[in-house]
């Protein structure tokens, strides 16, 4: 009986350990949710690529890319702990850190922490040739999509139009739509123009330019200066970026950032930053805009304090002395 009891105890212990093993493994699993934007923008393909990089490079990481309304929503989700890293525009981060209610941040989002600078968004105001729109002033009385409400694109639209002396009331119709939906309405002649803040060569505008004749509306340097923000920089959309665009077009650029939050463990953020830069060619292959992401510029213009995990990586690389 004692022998049988001993065997039973041994079997019971072995079974208990076997049952506990998956539990321990599950406890070690690290969830990484990458907050992106709409599927027709640049954030989404880069976020999917980043999630794949994290999933392969970080032990026990379960990484996903979430479709969102982009910058403002992403920052609010980070503050609530509902994501580990997010793409966002620089001016949206500034507004979130200062608690700008008009921009959709009634309170300061004090948990935001810096991860890395990425690439510049370019303000791209695209009108159908049939609309007759050639300048910012021509937008008055026309139908314009300004991006999803309170998105980074919409905040950019407000800033640029205000600097040009145009209010939403001056337009005959304002649509708050993601890039892809804006383009579909333009193809159907239900919209005259769309303002899209994205990397150059964004899929939505390429799609539009292949379907209808377009005009890219310039944003002159004096208008960019009137925005009055250091994150708005004069730039150009090079000729032939889109079908039918034969000349350079002046406009504004705004830097994008990857932002995390203070509750994400230091070791995990370190592994995430390291994984991204160790596999940067994978990110470059996801979208042309990503080729502007360089380790040397990772800290340029960072609007919030750096996460300690990211700081550790950049110290190792000599970016911080």
- Asked if the structure places residue 81 within a domain, the reply is yes
Do residues 85 and 190 both lie within one domain?
Answer: no
Going by the DSSP 8-state scheme, the letter that residue 158 receives in this structure is: H
Per-residue pLDDT, averaged over 61-80, amounts to 96
* Average pLDDT of the residues in 204-214: 96
Q: Are residues 131 and 218 in the same domain?
A: yes
- For residues 276 and 236, state if they share a domain: no
> For the chain, how big is the Rg over CA atoms in Å?
23
Residue at 94 is within a domain: yes
113 and 129 fall within a common domain:
no
**Structure tokens, 252:** 């504004």
**CA 116/CA 118 separation, integer angstroms:** 6
Does one domain contain both 38 and 152? no
Q: Report the domain count for the chain.
A: 2
Q: Is 14 inside any structural domain?
A: no
- CA–centroid distance for 92 within its chain: 11
Q: Binning pLDDT at 50, 70 and 90, where does residue 150 land?
A: confident
Question: 24 versus 60: which is more confidently predicted?
Answer: 60
pTM of the model: 0.80
pLDDT confidence bin for 302, thresholds 50/70/90: very high
Q: Which two tokens stand for residue 134?
A: 């050639």
In this model, does residue 237 exceed pLDDT 70? yes
pLDDT at 5: 47
Residue 124 and residue 237 in contact, taking contact as beta carbons nearer than 8 Å: yes
Residues 112 and 127 in one domain: no
Question: Please, which pLDDT band fits residue 305 given cuts at 50, 70 and 90?
Answer: very high
* Predicted pLDDT at 152: 86
Is 7 within the bounds of a domain? Answer: no
Over residues 251-258, the mean pLDDT reads: 96
Specify whether 250 is located in the same domain as 137. yes
98 within some domain: yes
12, burial (CB in 10 Å: exposed 0-12, middle 13-18, buried 19+): exposed
What local confidence, expressed as pLDDT, does residue 8 receive? 46
Whether residue 190 is found in the same domain as residue 158: yes
pLDDT digits (tens, 9 = 90+) for 3-59: 444 444 444 444 444 444 444 444 578 999 999 998 888 999 999 999 999 999 999
* pLDDT band (50, 70, 90) for residue 174: very high
Within this chain, do residues 280 and 191 fall inside the same structural domain, yes or no? no
pLDDT of residue 23: 45
96 pLDDT tier (thresholds 50, 70, 90): very high
Say what the pLDDT of residue 22 is.
45
Say whether 87 sits in a helix, a strand or coil: strand
**CA 148 distance to own-chain centroid:** 13
pLDDT at residue 188 in the model: 96
CA 173 to each of CA 134, 187, 190, 214, 253: distance values in angstroms, whole numbers, following the listed order: 18, 17, 10, 19, 25
Whether 308 is in a domain gets the answer: yes
Please report how the helices 308-316 and 266-278 are oriented relative to each other, as an axis angle in degrees rounded to 10. 50
Q: Is 92 exposed, middle or buried (0-12, 13-18, 19+ CB in 10 A)?
A: buried
Last residue of a domain, one of 254, 274, 306: 254
CB neighbours of residue 186 within 10 Å: 25
Determine, yes or no, domain membership for 12.
no
Virtual CA dihedral for 214, 220, 224, 225, nearest 10 degrees? 180
Which two three-digit tokens encode residue 10? 């041994």
Which of 254, 273, 305 finishes a domain? 254
Which residue has better confidence, 19 or 314?
Answer: 314
Ramachandran bin of 34, using left for φ above 0, alpha for ψ from -120 to 50, beta for the remaining angles: beta
C-alpha distances in angstroms, 81 versus 60, 132, 151, 262, 316? 20, 46, 19, 9, 28
Question: 288 or 266: which carries more pLDDT confidence?
Answer: 266
pLDDT band with cut points at 50, 70 and 90 for residue 229 = confident
What pLDDT digit, counting tens, does each position of 104-146 carry? 899 999 999 999 999 999 999 999 999 999 999 999 999 999 9
Q: 257 pairs with which residues across the strands?
A: 88, 117
Domain contains 321: no
Instruction: Indicate which CATH number applies to the domain containing 250.
Output: 3.40.190.10
217 and 104 belong to one structural domain: no
Both 151 and 102 in a single domain? Answer: no
Domain extent, residue 273, equals 29-119+256-316
Average pLDDT taken over every residue of the chain: 91
Domain stops at, among 233, 254, 275? 254
How many angstroms separate the CA atoms of 120 and 255, rounded? 4
Q: Read off the tokens for 238.
A: 């090079």
| 172 and 102 in a common domain | no
Q: Provide the pLDDT for residue 38.
A: 87
């Amino acid at each position: 009986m004692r022998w049988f009891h001993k065997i039973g105890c041994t079997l019971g212990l072995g079974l208990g350990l076997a049952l506990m093993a998956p539990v321990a493994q599950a406890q070690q699993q690290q969830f990484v949710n990458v907050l992106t934007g709409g599927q027709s923008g640049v954030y989404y393909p880069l976020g999917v690529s980043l999630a794949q990089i994290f999933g392969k490079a970080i032990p026990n990481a379960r990484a996903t890319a979430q479709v969102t309304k982009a910058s403002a929503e992403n920052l609010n989700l980070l503050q609530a702990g509902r994501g580990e890293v997010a793409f966002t525009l620089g001016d949206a981060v500034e507004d979130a850190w200062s608690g700008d209610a008009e921009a959709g941040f009634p309170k300061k989002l004090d948990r935001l922490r810096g991860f890395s600078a990425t690439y510049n968004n370019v303000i791209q105001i695209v009108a159908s040739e049939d609309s007759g729109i050639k300048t910012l002033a021509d937008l008055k009385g026309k139908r314009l999509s300004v991006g999803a409400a309170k998105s980074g694109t919409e905040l950019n639209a407000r800033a640029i139009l205000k600097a040009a002396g145009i209010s939403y009331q001056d337009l005959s119709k304002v649509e708050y739509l993601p890039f892809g939906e804006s383009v579909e309405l333009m193809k159907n002649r239900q919209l005259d123009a769309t303002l899209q803040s994205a990397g150059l060569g964004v899929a939505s505008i390429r799609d539009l330019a292949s379907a209808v004749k377009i005009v890219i509306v310039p944003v002159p340097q004096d208008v960019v200066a009137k925005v009055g923000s250091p994150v708005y920089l004069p730039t150009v959309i090079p000729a032939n970026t889109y079908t039918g665009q034969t000349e350079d077009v002046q406009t504004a650029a705004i830097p994008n950032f990857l932002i995390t939050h203070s509750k994400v463990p230091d070791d995990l953020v370190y592994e995430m930053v390291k994984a991204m830069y160790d596999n940067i060619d994978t990110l470059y292959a996801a979208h042309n805009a990503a080729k502007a992401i360089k380790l040397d510029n990772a800290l340029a213009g960072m609007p919030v304090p750096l996460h300690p995990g990211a700081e550790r990586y950049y110290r190792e690389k000599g970016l911080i002395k």
